[in-house]
Amino acid sequence: MEGKEKEKEEAKRTMIMKINKLKETPQEISQEDAKRQEAYNMSPRVRGGSGSADPSLLYRLIIMAETTQMEVEVPTEAASPLPAKPIFKPLKAHEMSDGKVQFRKIPVPPNRYTPLKKAWLDIYTPVYDQMKVDIRMNLKSRKVELKTRADTPDVSNLQKSADFVHAFMLGFDIPDAVALLRMDELYVESFEIKDVKTLKGEHLSRAIGRLSGKGGKTKFAIENSTKTRIVIADTRIHILGAFTNIKVARSSLCSLIMGSPAGKVYSKLRNVSARLAD
């Protein structure tokens, strides 16, 4: 019996502690519970008694205190101003490659040694001064070597310079090849006559003659109408220009290789040029 009384006293003591804790932290009471508590307090039993609250209501409040937490908003004195807009400058070549120097090597064909020697200053100036890329001729390996510098503004300048030097090695003039440095949409496409049609002997010679025309007339007509530059080096053909223009020029050259007369190709070029102009 004494053990049961002790358990009841401990339970009562725990209940009183929870009630005191509940009084210290105000909780939200529903309207129904508030009316019920008010009616219970106004009853004679409560007024004449010790003033204890409704046990069922206290039990609800205890459960609410254990399962819910109050969120208190602390008003700030003044909203802190937003940070300034970040400015991200483009990375330089040496920063993109973690400080590593990037190289490009372009082999020099034997038939381009003399033209390269004569036009070296015209090649060196735009690459070194404008593109900020180091360039040199390695006589032992017979290659033009390109290297990025600390002040190279963009890593793509190295590839543009390599394309420029490679275009010169293929046979393009300096003023035409320089366009590769200034415009991003230009590139060089190469193919061989045998890729279009297998020709041998005099048939191959006649096909090359049809491509060039008398005094280069046909080649110049295709270049001017398609805004491209064409180099015919033996059986290889190189075209410099934009994607759409190269496609039109290649179609005209393939028609000539297949045996179409120049007049028919001119008429097609005229129609295509008018369509491109629109």
How far is the C-alpha of 20 from the C-alpha of 10, rounded, in Å? 15
| Helix/strand/coil for 168 | helix
Architecture of domain 93-182: 2-Layer Sandwich (3.30)
CB 112 within 8 A of CB 177: no
Task: Please report the pLDDT score of residue 261 as a whole number.
Answer: 87
How far is the C-alpha of 197 from the C-alpha of 256, rounded, in Å? 11
Task: Please report the pLDDT score of residue 166 as a whole number.
Answer: 96
Mean pLDDT in runs of 10 for the chain (278 residues)?
A: 74 77 61 63 48 56 55 56 82 70 92 93 93 93 92 86 95 93 92 91 91 89 92 93 93 91 88 78
Task: Please report the pLDDT score of residue 50 as a whole number.
Answer: 47
Residue 32, amino acid: E
User: Of 188, 189, 211, which Cα lies nearest the Cα of 257?
Assistant: 211
Residue 35, amino acid: K
Q: Going by C-beta distance under 8 Å and a sequence separation of 6 or more, which residues neighbour residue 60?
A: 33
State which H helix or E strand residue 235 sits in: none
Structure tokens at 223: 């270049």
Buried b (16+ CB within 10 A) or exposed e, 128-137: beebbbbbeb
**CA distances (Å), origin 42, targets 30, 60, 116, 237:** 19, 20, 111, 108
Residues of the chain with CATH 3.30.1370.10: 93-182, 187-277
Measured in residues, the chain has a length of 278
**H helix runs in the chain, sequence order:** 2-24, 31-42, 44-48, 55-67, 93-96, 113-118, 120-125, 156-170, 174-177, 179-182, 193-196, 202-212, 217-226, 243-258, 262-277
Task: Please report the pLDDT score of residue 110 as a whole number.
Answer: 93
Q: Which CATH superfamily is domain 187-277 in?
A: K Homology domain, type 1 (3.30.1370.10)
Task: Please report the pLDDT score of residue 253 as a whole number.
Answer: 93
> Phi, psi at residue 197, to the nearest 5°?
-155, 135
Task: Please report the pLDDT score of residue 5 as a whole number.
Answer: 77
Buried b (16+ CB within 10 A) or exposed e, 246-278: bebbbebbbbbbeeeebeebeeebeebeeeeee
